Structure 1
Amino acid sequence: MKLFFRLSIIILSILVVGIIAITFIYFYLQTPIPANKIAATELAEQSAVKQEEKPYILKVPAGKEISAVAFELEEKGLIRSADIFYLKARLEKLEIKAGRYSIKSTMNMSDIFALLKSGKQDHISVSIPEGLTASKIAKLLFDSDVILSKEDFLKEVSNSELLQKYKIPASSFEGYLFPDTYYFNPSMNPKEVIVKLVDNFFAKIDSLEISAEDMEKLHKTVILASIVEREYSREEEAPLIASVFQNRLNHHIGLESCATILYILTEIEGRPHPERITYEDLKINSLYNTYKWAGLPVGPISNPGAIALKAASNPPKTNYYYFRVVDESSGKHHFSTSLEEHAKTGRELNIKAAAGK
Structure 2
Amino acid sequence: MLVSALVLVAALGIGTAGIFFTFEDRIRSVLGWEGPIDYEGEGTGEVVVTITSGQVGGDIATLLAEQDVVMTYKAFYSLLLQNPEVTFQPGNYALRTQMSARAALDALQNPANRVELSIGFNEGLSIDQVLESLSDSSGIPLTELEAAAADPTVYGVGAEAPSLEGYLFPARYTLDPSVDAASILQTLVDRTFESLDAAGVAPEDRHRILTIAALIQREAGSNPDDFYKVSRVIQNRLETGMPLQMDSTAHYGYAWRYGERLDQSVFSTQAELDDDNAYNTYQIQGLPLGPIGAAGDLAIDAAVNPADGNWLFFVTVNLDTGETAFTATGEEHNAAVRRLQAWCEETKSPNCA
Q: What is the TM-score of this pair, normalised by structure 2? A: 0.63
Pairs within 5 Å for 1:168-247: 169-208=160-199, 210-213=200-203, 215=204, 217-233=205-221, 234-247=223-236
Contact 2:44-2:99 within 8 A present in 1 as well: no
> Who is 1:148 aligned against?
140
Q: Percent identity?
A: 27
CA displacement at 1:348 relative to structure 2? 3.9
- For residues 273 and 58 of structure 1, the distance between their equivalents in structure 2, rounded to whole angstroms, comes to 42
Letter in 2 for 1:253: M
Q: In the alignment, is the contact (CA less than 8 A) between 1:121 and 1:185 conserved in 2? A: no
Q: Which whole-Å CA distance do the structure 2 matches of 1:351 and 1:160 have between them?
A: 44
Rounded Cα–Cα distance in structure 2 between residues aligned with 1:58 and 1:329: 49
Aligned residues of 1:287 and 1:298 also touching (Cα < 8 A): yes
Whole-angstrom distance in 2 between the partners of 1:110 and 1:197: 39
Structure 1 position 311 matched with structure 2 position 302: yes
Q: Secondary structure at the match of 2:284?
A: coil
Tell me, yes or no, if structure 1 residue 139 matches structure 2 residue 132: yes
Q: Mind listing any 5+ residue stretches in structure 1 that lack a counterpart?
A: 1-26, 34-56, 60-88, 93-98
- 3-state SS, counterpart of residue 270 of structure 2: coil
Paired residues of 1:226 and 1:308 also in contact (CA < 8 A): yes
SS at structure 2 position matched to 1:170? coil
1:263 to 252, 276, 283: 252
> In the aligned structure 2, how far is the partner of 1:150 from the partner of 1:351?
42
1:202 Cα deviation after fit: 1.8
Give the unaligned 5+ runs of structure 2: 1-38, 49-67, 72-90, 349-353
Q: Of 150, 154, 172, which residue of structure 2 is paired with 1:158? A: 150
Helix, strand or coil at the partner of 1:183: strand
- Is the 8 Å Cα contact of residues 135 and 145 (structure 2) preserved in structure 1? no
1:183-207 per-residue CA deviation (whole Å, 9 max, x = no partner) reads 1223522111121112112222222
Q: Aligned partners of 1:218 and 1:356: how far apart in 2?
A: 41
Query: SS at the partner of 1:330?
Result: coil
After superposition, the Cα gap between the structure-2 partners of 1:348 and 1:177, relative to the gap in structure 1 and judged at 3 Å, is closer
Compute the TM-score of the two structures, normalised by the length of structure 1: 0.63
Q: Distance in 1 between matches of 2:262 and 2:179?
A: 30
Deviation of 1:295 after TM superposition, in Å, equals: 0.5
Tell me what 1:321 maps to.
312
Q: Residues of 2 paired with 1:351 and 1:311: CA distance?
A: 30
Cα distance between partner residues in 1 of 2:339 and 2:157: 49
Q: Distance in 2 between matches of 1:352 and 1:236?
A: 22
> CA–CA distance in 1 between the matches of 2:124 and 2:114?
30
1:269 Cα deviation from its structure 2 partner: 2.3
One-letter amino acid of the counterpart of residue 220, structure 2: Y
CA displacement at 1:325 relative to structure 2: 0.8
Q: 1:129 to 1:354 in 2, by over 3 A?
A: closer
Aligned to 1:49: none
CA-based RMSD of the aligned residues comes to: 3.6
Alignment of 1:9-28 (within 5 A): none
Q: Distance in 1 between matches of 2:129 and 2:92?
A: 23
Question: CA offsets per residue over residues 284-319 of structure 1, 9 Å max, x none?
Answer: 121111111111011111121001111111212321
CA 343–160 in structure 1, closer or farther in 2 if over 3 Å, else same: closer
CA distance in 2, matches of 1:353, 1:140: 31
Q: Secondary structure at the match of 1:280?
A: helix
Q: How far apart are the structure 2 equivalents of 1:140 and 1:150?
A: 9
